[in-house]
Structure formats: C-alpha cells, structure tokens
Amino acid sequence: MLTAIRSLISALRHHFFVSSWLLMIVGDVLIIPLAVYLSFWLRLAQPLSVQFIQSSWMLGAALLIGLPLYTFTGQYKGLTRYVGSRSFYRLAGRNGLLVLLLALTGIMLRLPLPPRSSWVLLWLLLTGLSGAMRFALRDVLLSVENKPPHAQIRVAVYGAGAAGVQLAATLRLAGTHRVEFFLDDAAQLWRRDINGIPIRPPHLLEQRFDEIDQVLLAIPSLSRSRRRRIVDALQRFGIPVLQVPSVEEITSGRARIDALRPIAIEELLGRDAVPPAPQLLGPGISDQVVLVSGAGGSIGAELCRQILRLLPRRLVLLERSEPSLYAIDQELRRSLSPGVELVAVLGSAANRQLVERVLHEHAVQAVFHAAAYKHVPLVQANPLAGLANNVFATRVMACAAVRSGVTSFTLISTDKAVRPTNVMGASKRAAELVIQALAQELPAAGTRLSMVRFGNVLGSSGSVVPLFRSQIEKGGPITLTHPEIIRYFMTIPEAAQLVLQSAVLAQGGDLFLLDMGEPVRIKDLAEQMVRLSGRTLRDSLHPDGDIEIVCTGLRPGEKLYEELLIDADSEPTAHPLIYRAYERSLPPEELWPQLEELELAVRRRDESAALAGLARLVPEWQQ
C-alpha cells in the first residue's frame, strides 16, 4: 500500500511539472476575457451595458494580443513552483503593455473604446487575477512535490531577520521541515508573523518546547558571547540546536543558507573577536620574505594562511613531516595571490646546514618559529626527543637567523613554560632562555628576537576538544583527568593574528603574553560538548544517559591550572590583548656552557643527565 501511494505521488509530481505551463495558458485564456468583462461591469455598475456590447471586440483582441505577448516575453518559461515577488512585478509590466497595445489597436482601427478609467481598472484586474492564479498554482505544486512519505521535522527558527526568513522559505521549498514559529529577542516583533508563521519571545519556548524537534539558529553574524548565551538558554530544554553557516560562508558561496550544522564547541568558547590594530598587522610581512617553521602544525599552518593574506613577497614553509607539508602547501597554493611566491622546504629546524642555507638562499627577513613537540604525555615519555626539538632546534633557528641578518625572529612559546611541571613545559622555558641570552648579546640594530607565550588553542592537535569529540562519536566514555582542572582557550586564528601583531611590537628580548580571556572548567566543557551533540549525560542522577564522564587522575606533569607569568609584572602594549613582560634570564656566559652539557647528554642518550641539566637551567621546574 505504501509503495502504491508513493508511486501515485510521483506520478502526480511528474504530471504537474509537465502540465503546469499548460494550466497557466488555460488560466490566462479564462482570466483575460473575464478581466475585460469585469472592468466594464465594475466601472459602469451594469452586468451588460451598451458600452460593453459595443466594445466586445476587446474580448477576442485581448486574447490575440495577450497570449503571444506572454509567450514571447518569457511568461511561461519560469518554474511555477518558484514564483515570487519578482515574477509578479514582471507580470504587472506585461499586463501594462497588453493594456497599452489593446488601446492602440482600438485607436488605430477606430473601434469603440471604454471610458479612460476602465483601462486602469483592466490593468489592475489582469494583474490581480493572473497573479493570484499563479501563486495558487505554485502552492498546489509545492504541496504535491513536498509531501514527504514520513513526518516533517518540527522546528523553531531563532532569528526573525533576513537569514531566518530566507531559511524558512528554503525549508518550505525543501519540504523536510515545518517551521512552527520564530523566536526573536526584539520585543517589537512579538505577536507579529512572517508569512503566517508567528514570532514569539524566546522565554515562551519553555511552554512550547514539546511542539518542536529542533531549534535552528539563523543569525549568521552572532558574536561569540551572544551565541553562547543563546545556546546555554536553549540547552535547558534538551532540544538539539543547529545553526546556519556564517556570513562569510554564505557570501563566498561555500555554503547555502539551509546548510544546517551542529554548533561546534569552538564557536562558544573564548571571547568575541577583537579587530586587529591596523598599524600592527602588515608591517614586517607585506612585500617581505617570511619563513614559518613547523608550517604543517596547527599554529604554523594558521600563521601561513594569515601571512599570505598580508601579501609577502615570498613565504617559505619549513616542515619535517612530509604529509603535513604537502597538505598545507596544496591548500595555500589554491589561494595564492599574484606576485606571491610559495616555497616548501622538507626538513628539520634542528638541521643547522639546511636552516642556514634556506635563510641565506631566500634572503629571509622574518622568522616565526612554531616547530615544537607539544604533547605533554609524549614528551614526558620521550624527554630526549623533546629537548632536541624544543631547545636545540630553537637555538639553531635563532642563531642562524642572527647570522643571516634576519630582521625579526619570533618564538611561539606556551603557558606550560611557567613554573613547569613537565618536560615539555621545562623545555619550552629553556628555549625562552636561549632567546633571552641571544638578545643580550646582540647590538641594538641586530635581529629583533621575541617570544609569545599563550595557552591552549581550540582545535590544535594537542587540544582536548578533538579528543572529547572523538570519544563522543564512539559513544563514550569521556576521559577527564580531574573534575576541577581548568584551562584558558583561544581560537587558532585569533592566536595567530596576535602573534603576527606582537612581532611588530618587538624591541629585542621581549616576552609577550596574550590575554587568554576567562578560564574554562574542562568538566563543564565536556558536558556542553555532550549536549551540543544531541546526547545526554550519564551519571548517578541520570543512569539512562548516553555519555559518561570518567575521571582518570592527573597525568604525570599535569597542572590543575596554567599561568602566563613566573614572577614578572606585565605591562600593556599598543594592542589591548598583548602584554609585555620581562622575566628572569640567564646571562649568556652562564647559559651557553650549561646548554653544551645538556646537548652532550642528549647526544649520549643519557636521559638522567639530560633531565638533571634541564633542572639546573629551569630551577622552577617542579619534577
């Protein structure tokens, strides 16, 4: 029975699509003479007046002129099921031309003519009747085409602006969703409607949440903080929340308004975007030769994307991982601007000969050193590799930059370098000491060496967000090291943008700190990710939930919270989110001998001696 019904619906769809233009012609054949007749009747208040009988020639003439006019001007080419206001305006223009031609025919042939006001009435009747017929036919076609074999998804559209209206219209055409009502914060819109769909205040959802299956967030330009407040309010009802693409995605053509997707946790964490300072974004990069080490990593890749938008003369990508280098090279080449050269170099930042050759051969003017091992547990288990890559590769890159006359060198550091409790953090603090010592040896006109220290970035390979997302997709459990652990989060694009601006502020030996915003409790983060996925938490109060959170205990070297300063004070800079600090450093004559001993221990694969040497370099390291 169900198959037979679907076959009938399919047959009806085909029949309507094929014959809709015929129906419009038949409708026009009936409407045009009717409009002529009604124009006389309404004007003269007589069903059959003498003037109508004398001017009856207009009935046939209107058809003879109107049908060819409609045909040759494309009236029957449009798809009826997509008839809208623009089609109606064109129809009004065609009807105006029809009335004009009809009047000219009567004048030229000296035929009896109706009163002058009847011509205006005729145009209004033609436009109203033919327009109503087309809109009615459109609705019939849509009802047949979009009659789903199963129940439609009941949705509420949050946002009664242009995007919300467009989304509702698109969903109506698709037929898969039924918009029950709009939600909007603007009080002046409440108790009104859009195409018959009521607009309600968001707080009324509490009374009507059982009427809908989803909430569709249709405000593409939402700030991060406002989106977070809206989602937090909606999640109380346990209804899945989807959103339309961003303004950039819609305007660039990468996504349609109805390309609904779940809200990613990255879109809720962090603060609202702060516009870059114009005087800081561009100098030192535009029309310069720039090198990014670790170009295939999360931070390095985003630095490359943003550097390319600033139009350097040449961008050199240094990366030791072949797949990562290939991926970022191919991505950047797809958006390469004319006059910008892209060079991909496969190799390690610890290779002194390679680094010196690349810097000299390409006359590099600015270096962003993002290459590092940053996974705390992996570096903790492989300390020699961590020291070789984080400390000695930094020394190789910085020294080569100084010898090559590079204008600026920026080290990407981490908040884990502050009172470190793990090898990764201690190794990054040692790398900072290298930059500080080199800066002390340089003349004022030498390379400007600086460091940028910030916390976790959302979506990076070491972030908890991809781990939690993977665990949720597998049905859980989510593994959390401690229920009270907190972290600061920043989006990768914002972090990269601030790094580029801090390089312009550098004077030599600077340590820049990025304002990371408000701290986030990781347990709250995990719970929100579960709710955003449309699933429920399983705990002692909700034993039938979908995803459980399991605490496994702090990992070796892991902190409950992170810091950005050791013992120095920070001072503001020209950017409200960038601060300058002057930390304790080791004089070059003390640092270099200790580094030589540490490097010798690493080469001998003497792990205990290497860790002892690291502890002497970084006495605040809490082993």
Is residue 173 located within the same domain as residue 201? yes
Query: Of 120, 145, 170, which closes a domain?
Result: 145
Domain assignment present for 279: no
Q: For residue 387, is pLDDT > 90?
A: yes
Residue-wise pLDDT for 485-541, tens only, equals 777 677 788 888 888 888 888 888 888 887 766 777 778 777 777 777 777 778 777
Is residue 75 located within the same domain as residue 202? no
Query: Of 145, 174, 190, which closes a domain?
Result: 145
Q: For residue 451, is pLDDT > 60?
A: yes
Continuous segment of H or E residues that includes residue 157: strand 153-158
- Whole-number pLDDT of residue 336: 87
Least confident of 312-326, 441-455, 553-567, 590-604: 553-567
Query: Of 145, 177, 203, which closes a domain?
Result: 145
Q: For residue 40, is pLDDT > 80?
A: no
Is residue 451 located within the same domain as residue 319? yes
- Whole-number pLDDT of residue 566: 43
Query: Which position has the higher pLDDT, 255 or 1?
Result: 255
Q: What one-character DSSP code corresponds to residue 565?
A: -
Helix ranges restricted to H, 313-392? 322-334, 352-361, 376-381, 383-387
Is residue 520 located within the same domain as residue 578? yes
Domain that holds residue 235: 153-263
Q: How far is CA 145 from CA 33, 78, 169, in A?
A: 31, 17, 15
Residue 219 near residue 163 (C-beta atoms within 8 A): yes
Q: What one-character DSSP code corresponds to residue 272?
A: -
Is residue 100 located within the same domain as residue 137? yes
Is residue 311 located within the same domain as residue 457? yes
Is residue 21 located within the same domain as residue 165? no
- Whole-number pLDDT of residue 562: 57
For residue 415, give the amino acid letter.
Answer: D
Is residue 535 located within the same domain as residue 605? yes
Quote the pTM value: 0.65
Instruction: Kindly report the CATH number assigned to the domain that includes residue 362.
Output: 3.40.50.720
For residue 131, give the amino acid letter.
Answer: G
- Between CA 539 and CA 547 the distance in angstroms is 9
Query: Which position has the higher pLDDT, 291 or 561?
Result: 291
Q: For residue 80, is pLDDT > 70?
A: no
Is residue 448 located within the same domain as residue 554? yes
Domain assignment present for 276: no
Query: Phi first, then psi: what are they for 225, rounded to 5°?
Result: -70, -40
Residue 319 near residue 295 (C-beta atoms within 8 A): yes
Instruction: Give the total number of structural domains in the chain.
Output: 3
Q: How far is CA 427 from CA 369, 379, 417, 434, 547, in A?
A: 15, 9, 8, 11, 37
Residue-wise pLDDT for 284-340, tens only, equals 788 899 999 999 988 899 999 999 988 999 999 999 999 999 999 999 998 888 889
Angle, CA of 164, 533 and 236, to the nearest 5°: 70
Stretch 2-10: mean pLDDT = 45
For residue 579, the number of C-alpha atoms closer than 13 Å in the C-beta half-sphere is: 15
For residue 55, give the amino acid letter.
Answer: S
- Whole-number pLDDT of residue 252: 52
Is residue 253 located within the same domain as residue 307? no
Residue-wise pLDDT for 100-136, tens only, equals 888 888 888 888 878 777 788 888 888 777 777 777 7
Domain assignment present for 590: yes
Largest CA distance in the chain: 118
Is residue 115 located within the same domain as residue 182? no
- Between CA 217 and CA 303 the distance in angstroms is 31
Pick the closest to residue 520 from 579, 580, 463 (CA basis).
463
Residue-wise pLDDT for 265-285, tens only, equals 666 665 556 666 667 777 778
Domain assignment present for 141: yes
Is residue 485 located within the same domain as residue 535? yes
